Structure 1
């Protein structure tokens, strides 16, 4: 009986020692990414390091930070066994998940568009009046006016040539003039229908022209009003056709930009994209809304406008080697931090 107790005691002691060794061992934690998730210094500051510090404190983990120039380099280090984990704004996707494992998301985000503010010129405001659709509408109206003038001449002009003229061209022209005068309700009194058929035609035209003129003028006013309110500044995905855009190196995002005719230029950090934008080498910068907001808050620039758009929503998590036992501990602590709203408080501390 004593041998059985001794056997179980040895097993429990072994498990305790293994757990203690695992807890006392120093974990190698890499970090990479853009501000404010990771600050570019050796102090390991930012949203991701602060979240990890809370996790490590609650779980009793010993660790040592190591910075990496890019997330891709850090992931390679995790794959090779150089790191126990990589933290930062790391997008969870299927391509990466084939080689490494992820924690549950600690942050869900969406993209923003940062672009120079473009003021409208006079031509930009009146350009819709020279569009193909507008010209077709004007041409259609002129054809209808000619048809009504022809009808006036057919029912009135041949009976009263002294009013409409003896030639068809002059008669139809007089009919068009009567149609215009009637439509605009000017009523010069120089011409008026004398036959019953003429009164029917002009009465019908009064009703039709009233509706048409009102709709036509309202359409012009609406077009000019919307043109005046709109701006040339790039604020949505559809405006990126033929434009050079600095974007993170995400496969799905690159495919989306190519689909709308954009010319994506990949950058590793939001600061790199911002430099290209300031230097005029790209027309817009599309990046995670949090780093963009942080950038605009720390380096205000009245020449740029930030637009929040639901483009490729991203889920950020921490990276671990495949079959990592550490991942379960981190996931458990992440859940607790989410439930206590501590993650939200950390993020708010960097981005108001």
Structure 2
């Protein structure tokens, strides 16, 4: 419940509402200018007239259409028709995005602790260490031939969670819009893993040390320059 409430204060949603508000004010102003001279329903005072225009634009885009305000000028009606079609597209897209985001948020909120895996349907890739890891922690997982198949099964509702290497899941979700619209990534990490770099080493110890120092210096440079973060964002998203 808290996650759902926080979603409505998300910066993305606030930006959308701000943009929509700007559109409503601009359209309300234009409608006021077009209707004031020939439509007695629009007050002559600018503030009241613009307010009337904003009210009409808001009622129209939401599909409510109270009918208490009718456009009479040709330019006003032309703008009205255009706004009606724009409104259908905007509201449909807005509703779909919110539904998708709430679904992803619900999926993420189902698994926040290791013990949550005991109560959901879990999938993993056959032949990977993940199944052994889960089995060692008392979690039974269904095995799938590959990660894409497992995630697709979860997207269809056959699974509640898929356990695999986080970067690989992030990359697949980022590059598959169908998965991204129905799958969220939990913050739970079952195990931290470290990776090393294997290199051919010269026989001379001084050359070996120089090579290791060169590699370490390059890695430090990549991280300190921000290049490492850019690479992560490029392949895994923010």
TM-score, length-normalised on structure 1?
0.34
Between structure 1 and structure 2, the one with the greater Rg is 1
Q: Which structure has more helix as a fraction of its residues?
A: 2
**TM-score, normalised with respect to structure 2:** 0.49
The structure showing larger relative contact order (alpha-carbon pairs under 8 Å, at least 6 residues apart) is 1
